[in-house]
Amino acid sequence: MSIVSNKPIWHLLQEHSEQMQSIAMRDLFLADSDRSKKFSLQACGISLDYSKNRLTLATRDYLTQLAELQQVPQAIEELFSGGLVNASEQRPALHTLLRTPSQSVSENLQSESDQISVALEQMNAISSAVEKGDLLGFTGKQITDVINIGIGGSDLGPLLLFEALKPQMRSHLNLHFLSTCDKAFVNTVLSRLNPETTLVVVVSKSFTTQETLLNYAQVKSWMLQHALDWSAIQHQWFAVTASHDKAVDSGFNAENILPIWDWVGGRYSIWSSVCLSVVIVFGMEIFNQFLAGGHAMDLHVRQAPLSKNMPVILALLGIWYQNFLDAKTHLVVPYSCFLSGLPRYLQQLFMESQGKRVTQHGEPVEFSTGSIIWGECGTNSQHSFHQLLMQGTHTIPVDFILPKQSYDGSVNPVLTAHALAQSQVLMEGLHDVEAHQEIPGNVPSNFLMLERLDATHLGALLALYEHIVYIQSVIWGTNAFDQWGVERGKVMAKGLLHDLEHRSVTHQYDSSTESLLNQLSLSSNGVEST
């Protein structure tokens, strides 16, 4: 497949974007009273109004033509059928299988599905044992606290689920997260816990992640200060990893090790045993609801025509702004404090997946790929950066996300009013006032409403964004499932750590890094060059 920017449809969209530059959205609304109906969709308990975007019916037609020419429908099926969509590592990406009911799995993926079923049963058994009091601490006391040790996808996914659904957790349990290797922070967390009633889950796909292993060692040392030996506390420790043997070598009981697989990337692993800690404090029923919501969105993306397909439309709008209207960032503003971790979660999902400069075939791309994702929950965001949206000079598309009801069925009219007001003012602007008061408007936004903030709708929302990432990568021709860029920094850090610990420069660095090493040395005389 040739580079997409060389195709006639790409040039047609470039010409069309020039025509759209002078068109104000408020004029589009004045010219068509049914505009909102024409640019709205519903799927899986999520309603999308994308009428406040700089597009016409012709724009949508051109964009869906782009998706067809880039074979998006075929690529979606390739993802679900286990095709090798991760070309650089010659692997499938089977995160959707994690949320697919076993009776709906195709024959060629039955073996992987069976493994997933076993892992889910293991998660349920552990959660039930804690709930019933069958799994106790080393002095016979009931578990009160769970620590999740992991970083990246082993932290962001479970943390998002925990924060979003926190009011529904079991009342006698607390969950704590340790990600970065900050000894002082870890000590602060541990100072509030009782080792006799604390259960620990260590999550690392490779079981070589430096930050995770350092935190594991620190927490293990803390617990051993209060126990006879490792054998006394071993039953309170669980590992989630693709490297079973490494976990056993580190001291974990084989029956306390849950799998993660090579065909699931870390940033797509929220649907797996990576969320064991969450299942322990919430129960399996809520996690199953989460999986069901994700699967519902999977059915939608596979079955809906392109022009009525929510992930496809949002993916195409992202490409429209980034590649044709010069938008460099994308803002996510959820109007619920329970979703305050969503922008952070989406940062990894989008930026690690899409931060690529070559195609699947190793050819350099000639256009921008990968939006810079950022955000904050509303209304906090209004008191932080909405001024820049209103009167700044950047084009920043916005996703407003509003649950109609909170977890308990309550409605918050104040949050609703603010969310609607922001989207309208960004579109309409404010005119015929003093220059310093004028708001140009014409800032694009999508408005997504969830019927309710619960596990099912959260699952659908996260699956929606996953599919957006994949569809955009298909159109660009890039690989959404590798992350070679982060590996080099890990290698460099090992050499730097060696030199910091030994107070000498034995590796080759640029002059700036060498100078910083000298300043950071624990020796008052600095690091000695050798």
Question: pLDDT tens digits, residue range 115-159?
Answer: 999 999 999 999 999 999 999 999 999 999 999 999 999 999 999
Query: Per-residue pLDDT for 524 more than 50?
Result: no
Bridge-based pairing of strands 398-403 and 329-334 is parallel
Query: Per-residue pLDDT for 527 more than 80?
Result: no
Give the span between the Cα atoms of 497 and 185, in whole angstroms: 20
- Specify whether the CB–CB gap between 72 and 312 falls below 8 A: yes
Give the span between the Cα atoms of 469 and 70, in whole angstroms: 15
Written as six digits, the tokens of 308 are: 């009525």
Q: How far lies 56's CA from each of 24, 30, 51, 225, in Å?
A: 11, 13, 9, 67
Give the span between the Cα atoms of 6 and 214, in whole angstroms: 48
How much of the chain, in percent, has pLDDT values that exceed 90?
90
CA 195 from chain centre, in angstroms, equals: 31
Residue 1 binned pLDDT confidence (cut-offs 50, 70, 90): low
Query: Per-residue pLDDT for 372 more than 70?
Result: yes
Give the span between the Cα atoms of 509 and 506, in whole angstroms: 9
- Specify whether the CB–CB gap between 493 and 19 falls below 8 A: no
Contact residues for 243 (Cβ-Cβ < 8 A; gap 6+):
204, 205, 206, 207, 208
Decide: helix, strand or coil at residue 232.
helix
For tokens 């679900």, the residue is 80
- Specify whether the CB–CB gap between 85 and 334 falls below 8 A: no
- Give me the chain's average pLDDT, please: 96
CATH of domain 100-282: 3.40.50.10490
Encode pLDDT of 392-402 as tens digits. 999 999 999 99
* 495 vs 444 pLDDT, higher one: 444
b (16+ CB within 10 A) / e for 436-468: eeebebbbbbbbbbbbbbbbbbbbbbbbbbbbb
Q: What residue segments make up the domains of the chain, in order of their start?
A: 4-92+289-482, 100-282, 485-529
**Which residues belong to the active site?**
352, 383, 490
For tokens 């598309």, the residue is 397
CB atoms under 10 Å from CB of 187, counted, come to: 11
DSSP conformational letter for 527? P
Written as six digits, the tokens of 90 are: 């010659």
Pick the CATH number of 4-92+289-482 from 3.40.50.10070, 3.40.50.10490, 3.40.50.1220, 3.40.50.1970: 3.40.50.10490
Confidence (pLDDT) at 171? 86
Contact residues for 331 (Cβ-Cβ < 8 A; gap 6+):
374, 375, 389, 396, 397, 398, 399
Residue 289 binned pLDDT confidence (cut-offs 50, 70, 90): very high
Query: Per-residue pLDDT for 523 more than 50?
Result: no
Counting DSSP H helices and E strands in the chain, the numbers are 20, 13
Written as six digits, the tokens of 107 are: 């024959």
Q: Does this chain's domain 4-92+289-482 share its CATH topology with 100-282?
A: yes
Encode pLDDT of 481-508 as tens digits. 999 999 888 888 888 988 888 877 788 8
Contact residues for 514 (Cβ-Cβ < 8 A; gap 6+):
505, 529
As a dihedral over the C-alpha atoms of residue 263, residue 267, residue 271, residue 277, rounded to 10 degrees, the angle is 120
Query: Per-residue pLDDT for 94 more than 80?
Result: yes
Confidence (pLDDT) at 507? 82
pTM: 0.96
Which residues are registered as beta bridge partners of 332?
375, 399
CA 106 from chain centre, in angstroms, equals: 27
Residue 423 binned pLDDT confidence (cut-offs 50, 70, 90): very high
- Specify whether the CB–CB gap between 205 and 157 falls below 8 A: no
| DSSP H or E run through 445 | strand 445-450
By CB atoms closer than 10 A (0-12, 13-18, 19+), residue 385 is middle
Query: Per-residue pLDDT for 275 more than 70?
Result: yes
Encode pLDDT of 319-362 as tens digits. 999 999 999 999 999 999 999 999 999 999 999 999 999 999 99
Which residues are registered as beta bridge partners of 331?
374, 398
- Helices (H), ranges, 327-437: 342-354, 386-391, 413-428
